[in-house]
Amino acid sequence: DHFPSASDSELKVLDNEISDLSCKVQTLQQSCCLMESELKELKGSMTTPEMVKEIEELKKDCANYTEKLERIKSAANHVTPEEKEKVYNEKKLYCREWRRRKRM
């Protein structure tokens, strides 16, 4: 009694309008979800100044490691493979002797 009566054609038009608007709402919600996920991804990534700072730090680390490597390569106290093999063989011999004496 409070609302005016509507004809069937008006109801069909309103139903079509409701379905169209529902489709638009669903499309907009999907678009919003995509944008929110993109925003979250962008917030999680580094900014350009942060990346520049990180690159500079990595270059410094690389330079330090390169310098350290050069110092190690140029060191005068290298052990030749023959000397190394000799030390390992002596170690084996002494370990064998130690085990033999331990058993006695």
| pTM passes above 0.85 | no
Q: How far apart are CA 54 and CA 56, in angstroms?
A: 5
> Is the Cβ–Cβ distance between 11 and 3 less than 8 Å?
no
**Token pair belonging to 43:** 């917030």
Q: How far apart are CA 101 and CA 95, in angstroms?
A: 10
> What is the model's pLDDT at position 77?
73
> What is the model's pLDDT at position 59?
97
Q: How far apart are CA 84 and CA 53, in angstroms?
A: 44
pLDDT digits (tens, 9 = 90+) for 63-75: 999 999 888 888 7
> What is the model's pLDDT at position 1?
58
> What is the model's pLDDT at position 85?
92
Low-confidence ranges of the chain (pLDDT < 70): 1
- End-to-end Cα spacing for the chain: 115
